[in-house]
Structure 1
Amino acid sequence: MTAARWRAWYTPIALCMAVAEVLLILFGTVVRVPVWLVWVPALVGLVATVAGFRAAAAGAEGALRAFWRRLAVAMGAVLVAAISQTVDVLTMPSTGLPPLGARTLLLYVAGATLAVTALLRLPGGARSWRRLTTTLLDVAVVAVTGGIAGSQYVDWFVERFGVSAQAWWLNIAMMAIAVAGVVVVVKIMSARQSPVSRGALWWLAPIGLAGPLSTVLMTLFKPWPHLNGSAAVLPFVGLCGVLAARAQHRHVAGARPHQVVDLSAHCRGTAIPLVATVLTSALLTVVRLSTGHLSTVQVTGTALLLLLVVARQAVALAENGTLLRTVARQAMHDELTGLYSRRWFTAAVAAAEGPRTVVLLDLKEFREINDSLGPVAGDALLIAFGKRLTALAADDAVVARLGGDEFGVLLPGTGQAGPLLTANAEPLHAAGHDVLVDLSIGVAEGEADLYRQAEIALREAASGGHRVIRYDASLERRLTQRATVAADLRRALLAGEFHLLYQPIVELPSGRMTGVESLIRWTRPDGEIVSPADFIPVAEDTGLIVELGAWIIDSVCAQAAAWQRQHGPDALTSIAVNVSARQLVDPALPEIVAAALARHRVPAHRLTVEITETAVFGGGRALATVTALAQLGVSIALDDFGTGHSSLGLLRTCPVNAIKVDKSFVDGLGGTPQQEAIATALTGIAETMGLRTVAEGVETAAQARRLFELGYRQAQGFLFARPLPPAAIDALLAQPHPAAA
């Protein structure tokens, strides 16, 4: 069978054929229509179904593909049977029954048998002995119910069509089709994790009614011999088949990779006895009211049905216990790693008595690893890390995955966390990759409130760049202070409590001011000065740095415009503004900068954006933002160069115009050649790559002289000037040759 693809026109064609058949039947009760015309929608509808089943098979794999292929073959047999019946109707004389040859009946039985075989071979989920017993009892309940209904159907059939050989063959064919429908219903109600879409199974179920319904229609169409019961139902068989294939196509397209215990499937399974009992009761009530008695088969079948229902419910009660235990385990354990879940871990920490230790671990940069290596490797990394933690922890420890890339370990006693701190000492093997992970670890020891304390320590480790933080009371005080600062930040921004100072950048050796770097300051209404070291990290954590940064950019551009108007366009070659890592992942930053430059009519090349190496080291969104800023014409400077994730390759991949050499390297000037090595190398690299170099933190004349000797032509530091208010910069610019104070 060649591969097929789902076509959007399958469903409209099948629907049109069903509607056309209804219209032909209605019209045929008034005017005699050609016999062959009644069969056209039936044949076209079945062709669409065979094509739909083949498309469903092509989009599936394994047992699912085999199932849809078998159904396509079964429906192909039904299509051939319909063609054969069309020939029978056109060539054979009518003998009371509609013309129906042995060949046609055999083909219908073959199609129904093939469909039943396909359904019986379809996997239905768990294979425990209880599940197998339940399935067998379900089949028996439905079979007995069908037998009771079938006995009544046979009586009706004999009364209408007699006991001729042709009539009995017709009856066998119709019952075979009905059995196929019964098997579908059993599959729907008992399968737990069937690979076939439940919607597809429900659309297949009505096909089993086609046989008995066609015989009913045969009696209704006796006044109109040009109409046929089979022709009337086959277009709807085609429509249901196409809708089943369509449901399977959509199910495969939106399939989810992980499965859990299907409680709803279990509930549907337990509904089989109830549905069977209700239907049987309704049937027997109708028969009793219409005939005044019940047959021996109906009475015996009802008794057997009750016994089967009791047995089925007894097994269901036993299965419920297993199901509840499985659900409880899923609630206690993480599905991916098999470790305990957050809920179980927090409960275990709260219930533990005596001194104990809680260790929380977070995998740094896991998202980047997951994005670069793929989710399969990411999942494998989490599983491998969970196994390593379990191996490092004590036998009586509780190891849990708390969610995402965060893990927790509960240890008895104190001073037991040492082995866990080496969890990243060796690479982890993940889907063919060896990955060395970095960790943030929070540790809390004692007897009370340990989980919260460990969370505080972990948060401090992650935000402060530390690897391991042990909880103590000072962390709580810092947390309270940080919360207070966070609450005040937005109010301060709205109240105008922030202002900017500017530190001159000078030319060596003359000391002439060529540019300035803007620095933010916060003064409370009571005169208290809040250090940037205290509020900038809080602004980063809360996200307020984006709004604060936009204010800084606009203020810097406004000040640059004012100096430009007052002192001429060449008074300062550059005015620098610091941009944080959080701002760089904001896609709106280039628009903010462009709008501020346009609003204040400042040439883009006059603005320098200072970034840190760490902020762009990983590439991604941050590097894309820097590239967009460079495309505006803004200068880019790497601040504190040499202290972060230093990489000479960064100078090639990042659109840098200048590097600012950190004060720690300037402090080594005048010492040994080893102490001067980095400062010496950087100026050579920068000159080769056509980059400007600015030495930061220059505090002595000796340092300035040595920097000039090494090739540095720009510097800033307390030797030249401390950060100054705008008015002081005005005074310097007003001098004929502005030199730093």
Structure 2
Amino acid sequence: MTRTASLPRWRSWFVPFAALMAVAEVVMIVAGTHIGFHRLLVWIPAVCGVATAVTAFAATARGATGPLRLFWQRVAVAMSAVLIGAVSQTADIAFVPFDGMPPLGSRALLCYVIGTLLAIIALLRLPGGGRSWRQLTTAVLDLAVVGVTAGVAASEYLGWAVGKFGGRASTWWLNLAMVAIGVAGVTVVVKIMSARRSPAARTALWWLAPIGIAGPLSVILMTAFLPWPHLNGSAAVLAFVGLFGVLAGHAQQRAYTGRGAPSSRVAHPVVYRRGAAIPLVATGLTSLLVGTVYLRTGHLTTIQVAGTTLLLLLVVTRQAFALGENATLLETVARQAMHDELTGLYSRRPFVTAAAGAESPHTVVLIDLKDFRSINDSLGPVAGDALLTEYAARLTRIAGGDAVVARLGGDEFGLLLPGTAEETAATVDRLAAAGDEPLSAAGHEVVVEVSIGIADGIDMYRRAEIALREAGTHTDARVVRWDVSLQRHLNQRATVAADLRRALTAGEFHMVYQPVVALPHGLITGVESLIRWTRADGRTISPAEFVPVAEETGLIVELGEWIVDTVCAQAAQWRRRHGADVLDSIGVNVSARQLLDPGLPEMVAAALARHGLPAEQLTVEITETAVFGGGRALASVQALSELGVHIALDDFGTGHSSLGLLRTCPVDVIKVDKSFVDGLNGTPHQEAIAGAIADIAEKMDLGTVAEGVETPEQARRLFELGYRRAQGFLFARPMSAAAIDELLDPGIGIAA
């Protein structure tokens, strides 16, 4: 069995049981001042409490790794020595006759001292993290403050002990041991203050600190319990030593289980911050002690006066250094607020401020890394961060020392370049050309395409954003410089966006349907629905003009809901009028933005149920690009497929990784893009591609539809290559629902 397996596991009863032992000890002490009972009775909760602490420390060590595990193992060994000492002292009480002060044998005293020394070693061996010279000086002063306070208190305690017990050698050894135990508590406090970073939970260390006063307090309680020989000061404090030890282990356990989350068995380092509380508390306690002594005796000893004076000087010096450290900290915070943590570049706010205050000639260049999300998802966040860091270094190198370089968030960067437009054009050219050079990202060589927006003159940051948006919208333009036409285009799109919502409310949209026919006879088997917009003034707005605006503004979700409802209602009407099998399916196009809406599957299901349309008669047409990145979009497609809706991959062959999508996406139909149809009857290579697509679809049991068929020769050749359905101007242009009604009469077909 391994050493890890031999350690006990943390149990939920540790804390309640230790608390019960402490309460039982208090109850017996209070009752013992009124009634008598056997003198060993008070030792039962004391020994049980310490034994529970030993078990709790061992269980805490089991849940940790590295230095943290060693620390809790050492503390468990130290508490085991205390447990042996408690058992030894219990034996002394049971078998050694005494009158007055209860016996504390040399074996028990030696065990207590060994346990104390082991605890001090464990604390000193606990890593504390690095710090600056100013922080180190402040920590040393903190140590001195606590040390002087402890020295003044120890001198008062020893004076009281000598006066109470005399100057016998055994008395001196006893009280030196008690002072050593007190030093352990001081060491805990010192460790908390001096540690900048430590694997141990801060709360756990604070629970260990009160154990240090157990020794001196036990001697004081022994003298207080002299009238009741069945009570014992050591037993009284040992029960609480066990309770505080268990609470320390529980605090550490909560630190690496995240308040109830499954334990990762690793305690994450916590930053400890020192404040002025400890020096002020130390000064206050010393002042209270000295004041009490003076009121009681009328004079102070040399140690007390010198210690108090030294303490005040140390506190003043310490606070002066702390103020300097705070100033340095403020500078660090200010720098972090202005700089990106990952790349070290300026962040958005200072960059925008610099761009707004820059006088001509300056140029703002905004850069967006294309497909960064896909790279980050495929290679992992470590490679993604490395890629951003490498690209930041490239930007800094190309821009030069006079430029302001910033990471504006995510995969967007910004440059504020001095000089005229002609001077900055060369820098932009170098940026664009560098995009063809691979970057090293955690062992991967990655080529990143970029979109670049440029603007100068007034309001150049906002204008550069417009140019960058335009560059990202059009795949054929990597670099776009702002000009007045861009602003006009933006205003036009804003007008279209405003009109879209009004048009949807006013009912200006309507649907047309393009037949899908069977080859070779041309009978209609299905339709594809297409949206049209005719304004109240009679002007027709092209879908190419308003659909992208609807996607950008999010109105495509509301518009898409209207489309699905309208199409389902029309399909249900055709079923009632012409029979259930009149059409195999009716297609509706769904955009990438709609697929990102988690409510899409539920909306489609509601529309089908509302109009009584079977799910298999609805075909949702999507593009390869819409689902290429997977994630939410692919989940929506899978949910739609589970409803029974057919999925068609539109414009097949023009997007990303088409063959891979056939494996990962639940596709039922492939709609072959018009560009492949146009190549028929041309070179053998062009026909080979169209034929290969048909073969793949047949072997994967997928349907095929050839789009954009315009000539009888194309129709015949498609049939020879294995295509059995087609659509295009050869058969019919998009038409109204009433026109489709006429085509659905039995026996009527569309000539090919």
Q: Structure 2 length normalisation: TM-score?
A: 0.91
Q: What is the aligned counterpart of 1:523 among 534, 550, 555?
A: 534
The aligned residue for residue 168 of structure 2 is 164
Counterpart Cα distance in 1 of 2:357 and 2:199: 42
Cα offset for 1:646?
A: 4.2
Counterpart Cα distance in 2 of 1:600 and 1:203: 68
1:23-422 alignment runs, 5 A limit:
23-254=27-258, 265-266=273-274, 268=275, 270-413=276-419, 414-415=424-425, 416-422=427-433
In the alignment, structure 1 residue 669 sits paired with structure 2 residue 673 = no
Counterpart Cα distance in 2 of 1:356 and 1:655: 52
Cα offset for 1:79?
A: 1.5
Q: Flag structure 2 segments of 5+ consecutive residues without an equivalent.
A: 259-263
- SS class of match (1:445): strand
1:584-663 alignment runs, 5 A limit:
584-663=595-674
Counterpart Cα distance in 2 of 1:692 and 1:56: 62
> 1:166-195: per-residue Cα shift (whole Å, max 9, x none)?
332221122112112122222333433232
Cα offset for 1:95?
A: 4.5
Counterpart Cα distance in 1 of 2:397 and 2:293: 70
Cα offset for 1:491?
A: 4.3
Cα offset for 1:568?
A: 1.1
Cα offset for 1:124?
A: 2.8
In the alignment, structure 1 residue 537 sits paired with structure 2 residue 543 = no
Counterpart Cα distance in 1 of 2:492 and 2:25: 78
The aligned residue for residue 513 of structure 2 is 502
Cα offset for 1:488?
A: 4.2
- SS class of match (1:118): helix
Counterpart Cα distance in 1 of 2:329 and 2:644: 65
Contact 1:490 1:544 in 2 (8 A): yes
Contact 2:43 2:90 in 1 (8 A): yes
Contact 1:513 1:740 in 2 (8 A): no
> 1:110-135: per-residue Cα shift (whole Å, max 9, x none)?
22222222223333333332222222
| Alpha-carbon distance change, 36 to 133 in structure 1, aligned in 2, over 3 angstroms | same
Contact 2:188 2:208 in 1 (8 A): yes
> 1:420-440: per-residue Cα shift (whole Å, max 9, x none)?
22444244333333444443x
Amino acid at match of 1:111: G
1:567-578 alignment runs, 5 A limit:
567-578=578-589
Counterpart Cα distance in 1 of 2:170 and 2:387: 68
Counterpart Cα distance in 1 of 2:33 and 2:501: 80
Contact 1:287 1:293 in 2 (8 A): yes
Counterpart Cα distance in 1 of 2:19 and 2:480: 67
The aligned residue for residue 709 of structure 2 is 698
| Alpha-carbon distance change, 32 to 95 in structure 1, aligned in 2, over 3 angstroms | closer
Cα offset for 1:613?
A: 1.1
- SS class of match (1:381): helix
Contact 2:454 2:468 in 1 (8 A): no
Counterpart Cα distance in 2 of 1:459 and 1:24: 78
- SS class of match (2:705): strand
Amino acid at match of 1:282: L
The aligned residue for residue 14 of structure 1 is 18
Counterpart Cα distance in 2 of 1:655 and 1:323: 56
Contact 2:255 2:267 in 1 (8 A): no
Counterpart Cα distance in 1 of 2:411 and 2:48: 55
Aligned residue-pair number: 736
Contact 1:52 1:242 in 2 (8 A): yes
Percent of residue pairs identical: 68
In the alignment, structure 1 residue 455 sits paired with structure 2 residue 460 = no
The aligned residue for residue 744 of structure 2 is 733
| Alpha-carbon distance change, 240 to 427 in structure 1, aligned in 2, over 3 angstroms | farther
In the alignment, structure 1 residue 482 sits paired with structure 2 residue 493 = yes
Contact 1:109 1:173 in 2 (8 A): yes
In the alignment, structure 1 residue 714 sits paired with structure 2 residue 725 = yes
| Alpha-carbon distance change, 285 to 257 in structure 1, aligned in 2, over 3 angstroms | closer
The aligned residue for residue 454 of structure 2 is 444
> 1:389-417: per-residue Cα shift (whole Å, max 9, x none)?
33333233333222223222333332121
> 1:201-228: per-residue Cα shift (whole Å, max 9, x none)?
2212221222222223222322221111
- SS class of match (2:42): helix
| Alpha-carbon distance change, 365 to 177 in structure 1, aligned in 2, over 3 angstroms | farther
| Greater Cα offset, 569-578 or 147-156 | 147-156
Amino acid at match of 1:595: A
Cα offset for 1:612?
A: 0.8
Cα offset for 1:640?
A: 0.8
| Alpha-carbon distance change, 700 to 65 in structure 1, aligned in 2, over 3 angstroms | same
The aligned residue for residue 512 of structure 1 is 523
| Greater Cα offset, 650-659 or 249-258 | 249-258
- SS class of match (2:198): coil
Counterpart Cα distance in 2 of 1:47 and 1:34: 22
| Alpha-carbon distance change, 76 to 388 in structure 1, aligned in 2, over 3 angstroms | farther
Cα offset for 1:576?
A: 0.5
Amino acid at match of 2:232: N
| Alpha-carbon distance change, 740 to 246 in structure 1, aligned in 2, over 3 angstroms | farther
Cα offset for 1:71?
A: 1.7
| Greater Cα offset, 717-726 or 472-481 | 472-481
- SS class of match (1:112): helix
Contact 1:501 1:520 in 2 (8 A): yes
| Greater Cα offset, 367-376 or 512-521 | 367-376
The aligned residue for residue 444 of structure 2 is 433
Cα offset for 1:564?
A: 0.4
Amino acid at match of 1:644: G
Cα offset for 1:257?
A: 11
Q: What is the aligned counterpart of 2:567 among 550, 556, 579?
A: 556
| Greater Cα offset, 363-372 or 649-658 | 363-372
Contact 2:189 2:206 in 1 (8 A): yes
Contact 1:442 1:456 in 2 (8 A): no
Amino acid at match of 2:471: A
